[in-house]
Amino acid sequence: MLLSTALAAIPVQPVLAEGLAGAYLAGRSASIDSDFVLAASYYTRALAQDPSNPALLEAAIVSQVGAGAVDRALPIARRLHDLDAIGQIANVVVLVDLVAREDYAAALTMLESGETVGPLVDGLVLAWMEFGEGRMSEALEAFDDVSQAPGLRNFGLFHKALALAVAGDLEGADEILSGRSGTTLPATRRGVLAHVEILSQLERNDDAIEMLEAVFGTNLDPGLEEIRSRLVAGETLPFRAVTSAREGAAEVFYSISGALMGETEDAYTLLYTRMAEYLNPGHVDAILLSAQLLERLDQYQLANDAYNRIPADDPAFHAAELGRADALRRSGDTEAAIEALRRLATLYPDQAGVHIGLGDLLRGEERYEEANQAYSAAIELIEDPEPGQWPVYFARGITFERTDQWQEAEADFRMALELSPDQPQVLNYLGYSLVEMKQNLDEALDMIERAVAGRPNDGYITDSLGWVFYRLGRYSEAVEVMERAAELTPVDPIVNDHLGDVYWAVGRHREAEFQWQRALSFEPEKEDAERIRRKLEVGLDVVLEEEGGDPIPRTNDG
């Protein structure tokens, strides 16, 4: 049902007028790359030559909406609509324009005449249009009709609660959102915040605070912290989640985009968030979701444009800046991303997430000392460590380990395991490090075996297990495990190098040389490559002797 609301794909091949192929094909190529701005430009050129081509009209609408130019898509949609061509995307844009102009009667007429968008959109928007026309009974009946359809109950009930709250029936809205009506709704951020505002309106600030902390914990982001502070101060929060039928319709498109996220193509989901933005330009969550989708589509400039629409005094500004920094990083402008996060850390020094984001970025650039400082700033803000905070200790441990501060690194790794004892990443990293330093090998083996049990199809963790068997002199066991690791990660130079060493240890020298040659073909680090070439020249035994290591014992095991 949800997928049936997804917009129709751009046609593969419209009927082309003479001389039109170049612009169309260029637009089609840009569309495939999700370059909405470029695609819109080419489709506009094509339409200049063939202004009544339904396929071109629809493709141009999709591109303009994706680029965030719904106003430019509107005349194209009207043209397609007037041609009586079946075009779901044209219906969406025309309907949204009617709602934006608060011509609710015309929107109702359009929906009731059968010019549909999709089952969920039609039902919820129709209900909000009835609300906008002042027909509350009909609106509630329409919301109930949606909630009775298979799979749509949560949508119908949530929007009914919003409509009741806008109409002043706060008790009725609370009954639905609290689950007392018989259905527990998913605890989405917007749903919880709408309920918090309703509770505050009902003079139940203590209940609102309890709900905030139950859902989001006590380490709140700036937006949530501001809400909690106002509640603690006894302020009555206004109900701003939805204030009109137009904003209710915007919430419909945003609700559906959230449901479609990950279930259909990001370009389709983006069309819904763009409609939500157009109907409610202040819908910060829709703007942020559009930006996130654009990042996933590699449209970093459009993503940055979206993030930059969040003003500096908005509680969501820090989330927007985190997103903008990520878009800058992914676009290759790492220095600008780092600078953005440094500024954000200055603005929000008490937000651990900002310091962690900066640390992650610096660690990715192998700037371990700077990353360590950022992680330490985050950890200083943690009063009572919780299980979900293990990653920051793990990450800082890596920066300690990479800067040759093993004692501090081990302490952080063990703290991460104290918070989350069965984390395969931590078990593997600490266990492998111990193996490389030839310390606590029995404990290291136990850790890595637990890591493999947690992630049996992870080639790198499996490699660690094979390597600890090798270090313990259990060569036959090492062979089977290392072969499995090479199957899971066949083009990794380290794994293939390790398999070669294991083969050599059990006397399978020709196979060892073959694996070392494979390892070289996968471009290992310079130092590793030199060691592999030396093993190919003189064998592993001589290399170990040259390095002052212990020779491989010749036992019944190998």
Q: What percent of the chain has pLDDT over 90?
A: 80
Segment 375-378 long-range contacts (CB within 8 Å, at least 24 positions apart) = 375/399, 377/345, 377/349, 378/352, 378/353
CA distance 367 to 290: 31
Phi then psi for residue 308, to 5 deg, are: -70, -10
So what's the pLDDT on residue 552?
A: 84
The angle at the Cα of 268, spanning 267 to 274, to the nearest 5 degrees, equals: 85
So what's the pLDDT on residue 217?
A: 85
Prediction pTM value: 0.79
So what's the pLDDT on residue 85?
A: 66
Burial class (CB in 10 A: 0-12, 13-18, 19+), 485: buried
- 262 confidence band (pLDDT: 50, 70, 90): confident
CA distance 386 to 393: 11
Write down the domain spans for the chain.
1-101
Count of other CB atoms within 10 angstroms of residue 338: 20
DSSP 221-272: -HHHHHHHHHHHTTPPPP--S--SHHHHHHHHHHHHHHHHTTTS-HHHHHHH
Find the mean pLDDT for residues 480-484: 96
More confident call, 11 vs 466? 466
pLDDT tens-digit series, residues 52-103: 888 899 999 999 999 999 999 999 999 988 887 667 888 999 999 999 999 9
Find the mean pLDDT for residues 288-295: 96
Note whether 375 and 389 are within 8 A (CB): no
7: pLDDT strictly greater than 80: no
CA distance 395 to 389: 11
18: pLDDT strictly greater than 70: no
556: pLDDT strictly greater than 50: no
**Cβ partners under 8 Å of residue 302, min gap 6:** 36, 37, 67, 68, 294
Counted residue by residue, the chain has a size of: 558
* Tokens 């930006």, located at residue: 291
516: pLDDT strictly greater than 80: yes
Domain 1-101, classified CATH 1.25.40.10, yes or no: yes
So what's the pLDDT on residue 10?
A: 45
So what's the pLDDT on residue 19?
A: 56
SS3 state of residue 202: coil
CA dihedral 367, 302, 216, 161 (to 10 degrees): 180
Find the mean pLDDT for residues 309-321: 89
CA–CA distances in Å: residue 83 to residues 56, 57, 60, 80: 13, 11, 15, 5
Note whether 288 and 257 are within 8 A (CB): no
Burial class (CB in 10 A: 0-12, 13-18, 19+), 534: middle
Lookup: tokens for 275: 């409609």
- 549 confidence band (pLDDT: 50, 70, 90): confident
CA distance 357 to 341: 7
Find the mean pLDDT for residues 167-194: 94
So what's the pLDDT on residue 554?
A: 60
CA–CA distances in Å: residue 110 to residues 105, 114, 211, 498, 514: 9, 7, 40, 68, 71
So what's the pLDDT on residue 2?
A: 37
So what's the pLDDT on residue 378?
A: 96
551: pLDDT strictly greater than 90: no
So what's the pLDDT on residue 86?
A: 64
Q: Which residues of 411-439 are buried (b: 16+ CB within 10 A; e: fewer)?
A: ebbebbbebbeebbbbbbbbbbbbbeeee
So what's the pLDDT on residue 263?
A: 87
